[in-house]
Structure 1
Amino acid sequence: MNLFRALLTVSGFTLLSRVTGLARETLIARAFGASQFTDAFYVAFRIPNLLRRISAEGAFSQAFVPILAEFKNQQGHDATKALVDATSTVLAWALAILSLIGVVGASGVVFVVASGLAHDGQAYPLAVTMTRIMFPYIVFISLTSLASGVLNTYKNFSLPAFAPVLLNVAFIVAAVFVAPHMKTPVYALAWAVIVGGVLQFLVQLPGLKKIDMVPRIGWNPVRALAHRGVKRVLSKMVPAMFAVSVAQISLIINTNIASRIGPGAVSWINYADRLMEFPTALLGVALGTILLPSLSKAHVDADPHEYSSLLDWGLRVTFLLAAPSAIALFFFAEPLTATLFHYGKFDAHSVVMVGRALAAYGVGLIGLILIKILAPGFYAKQDIKTPVKIGVGVLVVTQLSNFVFVPIFAHAGLTLSVGLGACMNALLLFIGLRRRGIYMPSSGWLVFFVQMIGACLVLAGVMHWFAISFDWIGLHAQPLARIVLLAACLVLFAALYFGMLWLMGFKYAYFRRRVK
């Protein structure tokens, strides 16, 4: 398998997902602006999303994929299928019960996540109702995560990467065609979450059927729980859930703080999140997705050289592509925000506020992406405790940073703390891999950094000039011209960056890496 080709495949579908995601956010911004309605929706949507990241896509994938790879490589098809069936049974039953609890206790959950909304007689009841509607989403998206883990282990990256597009399509249909006909229009977005969750699971069934791995959910979760593979997955999930929970706890605290800053603050950060997640998904998530199965196989095969080489390749790709992305978020935050969201009820003030939060994310973007590459270096070896310990320390530092940055930068102080905390997290993960001899850097890093920094300095100067030379907010009356201008700028920036690297003798052939 060609790793770079696999990366292009995953990144291509992820790009499609992010483009449709931006379309969805643009349409939501146009219909609702940044108001108590969007605050209520994003708070409600964040709750099942937090649980999804903790119990499904985060902790579950980190624990499940390495063990699944071990079963596949050492015990054959039947044993692997039995593990998939037993795991899906336990997962479905546990999360169905959790969903029921969430529906019943929605009011208390919303208060914990965003207590600032409790004083808003309109936003708070809306958030509670939408939380009840969306809580079952965690069941469907968790089964989707299981299906994705299986397909990725079998080197099928396309369907899992495409699935999120369907959630965005559901949002777009709801915002454009359903919301105008509802008494409370924002409820259409909540129902879109459920529809999208179901579609994301269903679209992966053909791929699972092809390898005879369609999960069979049984009626006896106790029996499934006794499966030795499931026990191992659960034993790894507990510390993994704690590791992922650390980041999500920080997110909950930040949401709570944002809800107290004032109307619109939660939404400003959410819109900045959407743009920040564009490069983190295209690079970090995509690289982590393709590296974890290959790292797990190298671990099972007891091949430390291949293991280190995979990490080295992932780190170089990350720096190569994350550095210009970070510069773009920092210097081009306002042009990006204005072009994508400055329509309808989304006013110029919101553009400035979202731009500030996005620029602050740019400071720590490389750290946010590096975590996605470095953490699998521990997960593939079934070591989850080390990232947990690091994550706890970073959580404390991040929240202490809020006391310093929020009074100065308001909502942007929250995103700055997250970014700087991620950089600290990535540095500590890197030190851990080096001290244990898991990662041994290959030659050429000094030359690589000199070439990359030189290209980045030129890029930053040109990007800053374009950012201040045009009235991006004032082009609101000419949306097509603004879109064309932004597209032309991005093409120019990409050509400039990679052209500068080429002029300095950068060797692109290194990244065409193959694995078994």
Structure 2
Amino acid sequence: MRKTAVILFLLRIAKLAVSIFNISLSAKYFGVSVSRDVWILAFNCMLILDAAIWGPVNETFRAKFISIKELSGEDVAIKKAKALLIFTFLLSAILVAFVMLFPQLVAPLIASTYKGEAHRQLITMLIYVAPCFFVNQATQIGISLLNAYNSFYIPEISSFLSNCLNLLLIVLFAKYIGIYSLLIAYYIGVLILLVIIIIELHRRKIPILSNYRGVKYTDFTVFILFALPFFLPYFLGQLSSIVEKNIASSLSSGAVSIIDYSRRFTDILSNVITSILTTILVPILALSFAQKKNDEFVDEFAKIYQLGFLGIISIACMFTGCPDAFVSLLYNHGTIAPEALIQIGRLAMFYGWTSYPVFVYSILGVALISSNNGKKIAFWGAVAQILVVTLNIVLVKKVGIYIFPLAMFAGHLIAAFFMLAKFPFQRKKIHLQTAKYSFIILANVILFYLINNSLVTIAQPILKILFNFGVLCLVLGLQIFIFKFDERFILIKFWRKILRYD
């Protein structure tokens, strides 16, 4: 399992590098502008709609599919998955048609203050991005099904290749069609990804796209009912995103882009860690729970939990120590005003801190889903989103743009605390583990803040990043041995090979 996690991590790191170049290109060509705000609002609207409707099903599909396959056999699981596929495509097609025919009804929901030319641009962009809803959901189902059959690498490699193609297309078309180059790049990349997924399904002889005889079209309800408790928190989560962007669009021109630029760093990094770990963890925990191996369930969770915390510590420390260096390196192309760059840097630091509660919330959610405790995560997930929305609305005038990461931190931290109390087995072990890692994160964040703001001043961005990375490796390496993390055995083995002691 650890080997799989490491390989997936390396693949995600490669994709991360491409994503960073993508962000830098966006800053270079589009800066902080109304056209980029429009792209973010319209494109995210489709992703939000997708997550609100299909997010709960996508999140729980693997656990339920594995459970059905284990208890009733593969043929039954495949037939039910086929029924879900038919229902998904039909409903998605209806929603895409609605957005394309009535974009004027959707636009005020995501940017109520937009008037005149900005409003017209938003309506046009909504029409163009509407099919994203359909193709994105198709890839999500395909990837989930491959993961359920322990196929993790092909989806990652194909996604990496499509992201590389995105970069090339943006460079080729940005000067000629402006912001629409992002749209063209997305469609071509995701369609190639979808084709590769279909080829892999066929290669592994997973008969999801053939022989629909005998399929009961009502069988999709087994997945919907299993995911039902999660629809409320997912809906509230997407409502929170809409409210955030609506409020941001009313603050100032370019505020939506500023928030997007600042959170993209940590979103990409934390998503790399969380998505890898949850991708691996769901099938393992679901199978352990179905076979009633409670000790194995806890042991596997604890290993991944610890591994994830090491990644989160790295994110929190780096963006506490040198957020301005990342901003300067990637965004300082002359298209973004200096005051906006300062704001992006501060926001990036705050979003770096949010990676901690979001990770704990997400990983505990996986444990609760895999142990059929969906109602508990649904309730606290809803509480988290209500808190985020409430804090954003109530405090935005006092705190300004910085309320968005702070509300996100507070809402997920409170929810994670109560979810921790609902862990299904051996709670004391997981509670002590969480307390230890939380203390380590807090101590490290304070250390990196003091080093960079009181002891060391480095102006050159690359040198500052390298300095902080070096300190991180030294500090984290020492702490792995001091606190007896299992990863110390991997480090010992690695150094023995280098020194040729073996």
- Partner deviation per Cα, 1:129-178 (whole Å, 9 max, x = no partner): 12111111121111211111111122221123334434533432332111
The residue type equivalent to 1:201 in the other structure is L
* Residue 206 of structure 1, aligned match among 190, 199, 219: 199
Partner residue of 2:476?
498
Partner residue of 2:451?
462
Q: Which moved more, 1:146-155 or 1:24-33?
A: 146-155
- Is 2:369 the partner of 1:374? no
Q: Is the 8 A contact 2:301 2:367 kept in 1?
A: yes
Partner residue of 2:43?
45
- In 1, Cα distance between equivalents of 2:93 and 2:212: 13
- Partner deviation per Cα, 1:434-458 (whole Å, 9 max, x = no partner): xx54745169747766666665554
Partner residue of 1:413?
403
- In 2, Cα distance between equivalents of 1:495 and 1:50: 37
Partner residue of 1:432?
422
The alignment partner of 1:469 has SS state of coil
Q: Is the 8 A contact 1:35 1:264 kept in 2?
A: yes
Instruction: Identify if the C-alpha distance between structure 1 residues 299 and 128 changes in structure 2 by more than 3 Å, giving closer, same or farther.
Output: same
Superposed CA RMSD: 2.7
The residue type equivalent to 1:411 in the other structure is I
- In 2, Cα distance between equivalents of 1:288 and 1:325: 18
Instruction: Identify if the C-alpha distance between structure 1 residues 210 and 382 changes in structure 2 by more than 3 Å, giving closer, same or farther.
Output: farther
Instruction: Identify if the C-alpha distance between structure 1 residues 288 and 37 changes in structure 2 by more than 3 Å, giving closer, same or farther.
Output: same
* Residue 156 of structure 1, aligned match among 141, 148, 151: 151
Partner residue of 1:10?
8
Partner residue of 2:485?
507
Could you state the TM-score of these two structures normalised by the residue count of structure 1? 0.87
Instruction: Identify if the C-alpha distance between structure 1 residues 258 and 246 changes in structure 2 by more than 3 Å, giving closer, same or farther.
Output: same
Instruction: Identify if the C-alpha distance between structure 1 residues 342 and 67 changes in structure 2 by more than 3 Å, giving closer, same or farther.
Output: same
- Partner deviation per Cα, 1:355-399 (whole Å, 9 max, x = no partner): 122222233220011122010112113332222211222223223
- In 1, Cα distance between equivalents of 2:64 and 2:489: 28
- In 2, Cα distance between equivalents of 1:503 and 1:306: 25
* Residue 189 of structure 1, aligned match among 182, 189, 193: 182
Partner residue of 1:235?
225
* Residue 225 of structure 1, aligned match among 207, 217, 220: 217
Q: Is the 8 A contact 1:322 1:366 kept in 2?
A: yes
Where in structure 2 are there 5+ consecutive unaligned residues?
491-502
Equivalence map 1:113-124=2 (5 Å): 113-116=110-113, 118-119=114-115, 121-124=116-119
The alignment partner of 1:263 has SS state of coil
Could you state the TM-score of these two structures normalised by the residue count of structure 2? 0.89
Partner residue of 1:262?
252
- Partner deviation per Cα, 1:458-510 (whole Å, 9 max, x = no partner): 444334458x71335xxxxxxxxx44x25523531332222321562633348
Partner residue of 1:91?
88
The alignment partner of 1:122 has SS state of helix
- Partner deviation per Cα, 1:258-309 (whole Å, 9 max, x = no partner): 0110011100111122112123112212111111111110111111222222
Q: Is the 8 A contact 1:320 1:452 kept in 2?
A: no
Q: Is the 8 A contact 2:481 2:488 kept in 1?
A: no
- Is 2:311 the partner of 1:321? yes
The residue type equivalent to 2:140 in the other structure is S
Equivalence map 1:48-447=2 (5 Å): 48-56=46-54, 58-116=55-113, 118-119=114-115, 121-182=116-177, 185-213=178-206, 215-216=208-209, 224-227=216-219, 230-403=220-393, 405-433=395-423, 436-437=424-425, 439-441=427-429, 445=433
Instruction: Identify if the C-alpha distance between structure 1 residues 442 and 231 changes in structure 2 by more than 3 Å, giving closer, same or farther.
Output: closer
- In 1, Cα distance between equivalents of 2:480 and 2:184: 49
- Partner deviation per Cα, 1:91-149 (whole Å, 9 max, x = no partner): 11221111111111222212101212x22x23222222121111111211112111111
How far 1:14 moved relative to its partner? 1.9
Where in structure 1 are there 5+ consecutive unaligned residues?
473-481
* Residue 459 of structure 2, aligned match among 466, 471, 475: 471
- In 2, Cα distance between equivalents of 1:458 and 1:181: 47
Q: Is the 8 A contact 1:287 1:372 kept in 2?
A: no
Percent of aligned pairs sharing the same letter? 18
The residue type equivalent to 1:142 in the other structure is Q
The alignment partner of 1:203 has SS state of helix
The residue type equivalent to 1:461 in the other structure is L
The alignment partner of 1:441 has SS state of helix
- In 1, Cα distance between equivalents of 2:35 and 2:469: 36
Instruction: Identify if the C-alpha distance between structure 1 residues 386 and 294 changes in structure 2 by more than 3 Å, giving closer, same or farther.
Output: same
The alignment partner of 1:204 has SS state of helix
- In 2, Cα distance between equivalents of 1:218 and 1:34: 50
* Residue 28 of structure 2, aligned match among 23, 27, 30: 30
- Partner deviation per Cα, 1:399-438 (whole Å, 9 max, x = no partner): 33225542343112112111221111211211222xx547
Instruction: Identify if the C-alpha distance between structure 1 residues 360 and 507 changes in structure 2 by more than 3 Å, giving closer, same or farther.
Output: closer
Q: Is the 8 A contact 1:7 1:286 kept in 2?
A: yes
Q: Is the 8 A contact 1:36 1:264 kept in 2?
A: yes
